[in-house]
Chains A and B, each alone.
Chain A
């Protein structure tokens, strides 16, 4: 079996077991208790958005948690995911023969729609519209470079069921600790039938030793935000490193993600507390 066929088969395989509603309830309870404990030291009202970047920073670079966020400014890297996903969607619909052929028409169409309706489907339309030819080509090139490895990993046209590219992030707010918000992001959601889904998560660089919990985190937030539509598995792709890994989701896997979240919240609270102390001093 070729690599593409193996990857595709792994994505659509029937799960070994279903994650029951009881399991999700138990995981949720454990998470709520853990976050309430870990967040006790968070400054009152200070919002904490948990996502994969925070989980990774807390584990590998906690010193960065104390740094203020840079003000947002559009860059090609912020466009490549959403444009790349739209490229994939059109390629799967067999409208183009590959990402390189799709990127120009897809970007042009997005800008035309924005000009015609004023609606920003991707948010970046006004920024891209104002770019010169050189900068715009960088945006397109980045999107092609992002989309191509993903396009080459699976046999997209032959995937059964509904394939959802991108879409809104999964979100879950911790009851009792309103300041903590969990956000989960999947690049692809493949609806397997019934309530089950396979999720695909793409990351840059190479996987660290905590990759299993990071993929499980994606499934955790998906399960918390829509308990009736849980993920059977999460497939992680690290195109830079040529690595594809997957976790089959069960209660133990989600519990591992819960621990990782609680650790990250605790580490963040510590770093913030020491930063506040330094500022006071």
Chain B
């Protein structure tokens, strides 16, 4: 049920396993089984200091499109930290559209609609309608429109199925939880030369006062992948740096199965995320640290041997928590 420090996942799926729904699903997000972290300015300062000290020698970074600022996102980190082997075979950075990719974008749009208005009409129609408001998705919308009838039927069937699950399992949020979708989070580092940027599918909870009060949920329409937890930890890091307290939980909701993978946010998790972020950011900046970036490859975590940090320059006392085997589909 749990893996690694403070990790609380969905129990292994047996024949009697049923996805959580309604109040039980919300309770799973709200109650992690661990005390919520208290607001800790000293720790937050240390966390920022870890990143700032590791980035202080960087200068004049980023592409003009980024306004001279290197923007670090979860996708960029995962891509740049992939080991050479997985960099060539993994799917990150893939440009051509696929049906699973389209399904993911459509389900994201439907999840946002369900959280906001609580209902969906014809799922594919509504999702395309929602995506159509974002010009960055216009190529994908066109691609979907050009699909062969059989492919479109396949996509429609899967989107219908997942939409049905979302509608049935996700209850309306109490407005006092302040649910908001696609929340943008940014943290500027290194005197403005680096920006950590994230956009989360769902954030709930008032901004922290004395203790953590925010939970973050990411929706995935496909199979579990180790990189999903790295994504969540990156979100936790960014939220911890921009707010008085980190989120108390980060979760991935798998809309295909209804599984929810909830991870309590701890100091260890945040330090780990900061070190990964530091190594990846330096790599993105073209000034890699001496640490073996391949050691942070998410895809390697499914191999029989856990990754090993080989160079101590940046991550001298890093303890890499191997992603539990058997988690990746």
Instruction: Report which A residues bind B (CB closer than 8 A).
Output: 2-4, 60-61, 75-76, 96-104, 131-142, 144-145, 148-149, 151-153, 204-206, 208-209, 239-243
Contact = CB atoms under 8 A, between A and B. Distances in A.
Q: Label chain B's interface by main secondary structure.
A: mixed
B125 A134 contact: yes
B188 A206 contact: yes
A243 B188 CA distance: 11
A205 B186 contact: yes
A139 B209 contact: no
Interface string B190-221: 00100100000000001101100000000000
B183 interface: yes
A98 B175 contact: yes
A204 B183 CA distance: 11
Given A2-B209, A100-B178, A206 B186 contact: yes
Interface of B: 67, 109, 112-113, 115-117, 120-121, 125-135, 173-188, 192, 195, 206-207, 209-210, 242-244
Nearest to A204: B184
16 contacts: A2-B210, A61-B67, A75-B135, A99-B178, A100-B180, A101-B175, A135-B132, A135-B133, A138-B113, A140-B116, A141-B116, A144-B180, A148-B178, A152-B178, A152-B206, A208-B192
A134 B181 contact: no
B192 A209 contact: yes
A133 B178 contact: no
- Most chain B beta-carbon contacts within 10 A, residue among A61, A149, A153, A242: A242
Contact of B178 (A98, A104, A135, A141): A98
Given A134-B109, A206-B186, A144 B116 contact: yes
A96 B185 CA distance: 26
A167 B46 CA distance: 43
Given A134-B127, A135-B129, A141 B185 contact: no
Given A98-B178, A205-B186, A240-B184, A139 B117 contact: no
B290 to A, nearest CB: 30
A266 B131 CA distance: 41
A100 B244 contact: no
A136 B132 CA distance: 11
B178 A137 contact: no
Most chain A C-beta atoms within 10 Å of own C-beta, residue among B174, B186, B243 = B186
Contact of B188 (A96, A103, A151, A241): A241
Nearest to A153: B207
A208 B195 CA distance: 12
A75 B135 CA distance: 9
B173 A137 contact: no
A45 to B, nearest CB: 32
A132 B178 contact: no
Contacts of A133: 113, 117, 120-121, 126, 129
A7 to B, nearest CB: 10
Contacts of B183: 145
A183 B171 CA distance: 44
B182 A76 contact: no
A100 B187 CA distance: 26
Contacts of B177: 98
Task: Please indicate which of the listed interface residues A75, A153, A204, A241 has the most CB atoms of chain B within 10 Å of its own CB.
Answer: A241
B294 to A, nearest CB: 32
B209 A132 contact: no
B182 A141 contact: yes
A4 B209 CA distance: 8
A276 B108 CA distance: 45
B115 to A, nearest CB: 7
A96 B121 CA distance: 26
Contact of B185 (A98, A138, A151, A240): A240
Given A100-B173, A134-B109, A139 B133 contact: yes
A240 to B, nearest CB: 4
Contact of B125 (A61, A100, A132, A208): A132
A138 B180 contact: no
B175 A134 contact: no
A99 B132 contact: no
Nearest to B135: A75
Contacts of A3: 207, 209, 244
Contacts of A205: 186
Nearest to A147: B180
Contact of B126 (A60, A132, A144, A204): A132
Given A133-B121, A152-B207, A241 B130 contact: no
